[in-house]
Amino acid sequence: VQLVESGGGLVQSGGSLRLSCAASGFKYGDYGIGWFRQAPGKGRERVSCISPLDRISVYADSVKGRFTISSDKATNTVYLQMDSLKPEDTAVYYCAASPMFISSCREPPEGYLQFWGQGTQVTISS
């Protein structure tokens, strides 16, 4: 299983970015996909998750109404459209795949089946 994130960068407050998570090594829908982020000096927090087959999505309160998660079966890619970005959105963003994300959008405990990408930096200037 491989997850490759892309699309990070530096934008001004109020701007937009679209992150991509290209997945391989498993069939579309076998796992839910989650986006998490980690800001400097802080723990990793959930951003959003999607169950690809039924398109059910979940968002953290801090990003509701600004971020949109979507999935593309043809390319086995999950996107995170981020609008109205704020400086506090600055973080390294990771995508992850796990059976857990089909029913629960939280970081799986150690030992639970999960795969993580390498992360992509998102920096929002004020």
For the beta carbon of residue 36, count every other beta carbon within 10 angstroms: 23
- Report the C-alpha gap between 15 and 115 in whole angstroms: 30
SS3 88: helix
Tell me which residue has tokens 């998490």. Answer: 36
Q: Quick one: pLDDT at residue 77?
A: 96
Q: Quick one: pLDDT at residue 109?
A: 95
- Report the C-alpha gap between 8 and 113 in whole angstroms: 26
Give the residue-averaged pLDDT of 59-85.
Answer: 97
Task: Give the pairing type, strands 67-72 and 91-98.
Answer: unpaired
* pLDDT tens per residue across span 78-126: 999 999 999 999 999 999 999 999 999 999 999 999 999 999 999 999 9
Tell me which residue has tokens 């973080």. Answer: 91
Give the residue-averaged pLDDT of 10-37.
Answer: 96
**pLDDT-derived band at 63, boundaries 50, 70, 90:** very high
* pLDDT tens per residue across span 24-33: 999 998 999 9
